[in-house]
Structure 1
Amino acid sequence: MELFTASCSNNRLLLRKYEHKEIIMNSLAFMVREKRIWLYGYVIMEDEFHLLWKKQPAWEHKNIRQMLLKFTAQQIKRSLWAGDRKELELYRSQLHDRQFQFWEKTAFSAAIPDADAAEEKLAQLHEVPVSAGFCNGVTDYTFSSAAFYQEGYDPEGIMTHYHHCFPELSENC
């Protein structure tokens, strides 16, 4: 299991727009349905998103992070091109290999070694929107996996409980 964090370029609030958060969610749903990843937890904020995930066996040697960031950047670019070209210009890049830069070049990634660490990271992720003042309780924030863990709410059917990843807790990973 891995903790992955991607931050918006120059700390901009790229994910403030609901439709941009939906692009992240739809991309994750696609990756789960196509059996590329197991998704154990997430939170999508205005300037970054955090995931607890694991590659499925057929995708272990592929760069899932790069695929996710590239695809979501393309979708966000299309959204801004259609609706807010002035904002799109904020992300124009001087790099020779791209027109726009939506994500910071270096994303954060860390292995989650055991169930205790996973539980701790999930609690931290789910607390972020509360600490930021976006909601009063962890299950009140739409773009978080907290409701899955506390209420079993997963309308997209994309979540896997973190217990499934640790043999001492489950035989399913």
Structure 2
Amino acid sequence: MGRNRYKIYDEVYPYFITSSIVQGYPLFSRPPVARIILNSLSFLQERRQVTLFGYVIMENHLHVVALGEALSEKIRLFKSYTARESINWLRANGHTNILRFFRQNKQEYNTRSTYQIWQEGFHPKQIIGDDMMIQKLEYIHQNPVRRGYVDNPEDWRYSSARNYLESEALIPITCYRR
């Protein structure tokens, strides 16, 4: 496929975005790699002027609800940076088998890198209206519950569910209020 068929056309409304690791590899089950994602989400907010309304980092994918100008480009840069940092961490910690997996699963036309961490593109869905926003945030927060990892959304460490309960969260977000 090569190019992302899904585009962000309107910068007025937030988007529900999903990005997945190639072949569903559980890369984010390693806390240092999940921390790379969290730090990068914070950077998007602080330095790239992206408003983050919600997120969940699962073992092999992430969902975010975000708003910002040039959001497609910012997400592309986010994925590129987090891939490089994840590879650096894997190298530094001797995870040669995992690196081999990401090298073997790299798309042939991708000649600019040795490894491929993320699946090509991302899948943005424009959010229009309060009901859709609440549905997407609930979907995000219920993801680890549906998978059977936790009983309550706020028990999943890598999620914005705690932000909405105003309890201790890993990174700040902009909580959506009707």
TM-score (normalised: structure 2):
0.84
2:19 and 2:147 map into 1 onto residues whose CA distance is: 17
After superposition, the C-alpha distances for 1:74-125 in whole angstroms (9 at most, x for unaligned) are 0000001111122111101243222110000132111001111110111111
Report how many residues are paired.
160
Q: How far did residue 154 of structure 1 move?
A: 3.8
- Which residue among 53, 62, 76 is the counterpart of 1:66? 76
Contact 1:115 1:162 in 2 (8 A): no
Alignment correspondent of 1:166 = none
**2:22 matched to 1:9?**
yes
What SS is found at the alignment partner of 2:102?
A: coil
1:28 and 1:82 map into 2 onto residues whose CA distance is: 23
2:72 and 2:98 map into 1 onto residues whose CA distance is: 32
After superposition, the Cα gap between the structure-2 partners of 1:73 and 1:155, relative to the gap in structure 1 and judged at 3 Å, is closer
1:47 and 1:155 map into 2 onto residues whose CA distance is: 19
- Which residue among 23, 33, 37 is the counterpart of 2:36? 23
- Which residue among 137, 143, 147 is the counterpart of 1:132? 147
- Between the aligned residues of both structures, percent identity stands at 26
Q: How far did residue 155 of structure 1 move?
A: 5.4
2:166 and 2:138 map into 1 onto residues whose CA distance is: 15
After superposition, the Cα gap between the structure-2 partners of 1:150 and 1:61, relative to the gap in structure 1 and judged at 3 Å, is closer
What SS is found at the alignment partner of 2:114?
A: coil
RMSD: 1.6
Q: How far did residue 61 of structure 1 move?
A: 7.0
Alignment correspondent of 1:44 = 57
1:152 and 1:25 map into 2 onto residues whose CA distance is: 17
Which stretch shows the higher mean deviation, 94-103 or 129-138?
A: 94-103
5 Å matches for 1:83-94? Answer: 83=93, 84-92=95-103, 93=106, 94=108
Which stretch shows the higher mean deviation, 85-94 or 19-28?
A: 85-94
Q: How far did residue 35 of structure 1 move?
A: 4.4
**2:125 matched to 1:110?**
yes
TM-score (normalised: structure 1):
0.86
Which stretch shows the higher mean deviation, 94-103 or 133-142?
A: 94-103
Gaps of 5+ in 2: 1-13
Gaps of 5+ in 1: 164-168
1:38 and 1:153 map into 2 onto residues whose CA distance is: 19
Q: How far did residue 60 of structure 1 move?
A: 3.1
The residue identity in structure 2 corresponding to 1:88 is L
